[in-house]
Structure 1
């Protein structure tokens, strides 16, 4: 009947990994300079859509989205996956019907680029497929 001596909850709160600040960059230079994408609306989209504890519009001070000229930086003090950011970026492109022209490419461990599809390589792939 003796209660277990180890308090189970404290482990979740004091875990070292949780306090780590994560920083992800989304480089939108090409589409923004060409005028096909509005970085202000992209920032607004991310701010509204990022979920914290299962809720949108719940960023509190845990996640922040900052904008420089052609780049968005998402900073999170909670566990936050890069994959989720990519998912949201693709969702934004689809919503603004840019998904046919732009792709989200990882350019480093903590950054994405929005790049154009390389049309030449697509033609080369099709030529290989005919053989």
Structure 2
């Protein structure tokens, strides 16, 4: 199931841009990836807090998480939790 069926990435971008992070931050979207560029220092922890708050508000925090890309730390991508791994650990 695509992530767009559960979470509207455009809404998340609007929330991040609409005064939450201010004018010093530019948020762009490329398919499922979100790129955040700031003129000054930006706390990764604060950005993840805002995205978790959005996911919790829309009741999808239990299924999705936002991770930073390995190559470029300014790129964030929503992904599903890997439930199959968690089920295997519980059986042991």
Could you state the TM-score of these two structures normalised by the residue count of structure 2?
0.79
Q: How does 1:59-98 map to 2 (within 5 A)?
A: 59-60=22-23, 62-98=24-60
Kindly indicate whether structure 1 or structure 2 has the higher relative contact order, using CA contacts under 8 Å at least 6 residues apart.
1
In structure 1, the gaps of 5 or more residues are 1-29, 52-58
2:3 counterpart SS class = helix
Structure of greater Rg: 1
1:122 to 67, 86, 89: 86
- Give the superposition deviation at 1:101: 0.7
1:86 counterpart SS class = helix
Measure the CA separation in 1 of the matches of 2:3 and 2:37.
23
Measure the CA separation in 1 of the matches of 2:30 and 2:81.
24
List, as ranges, runs of 4+ consecutive aligned residues in structure 1 with deviation greater than 3 Å: none
In structure 2, the gaps of 5 or more residues are none
Root mean square deviation, CA, Å:
1.9
CA 1:123–1:70 in structure 2 vs 1: closer, same or farther (change >3 Å)?
closer
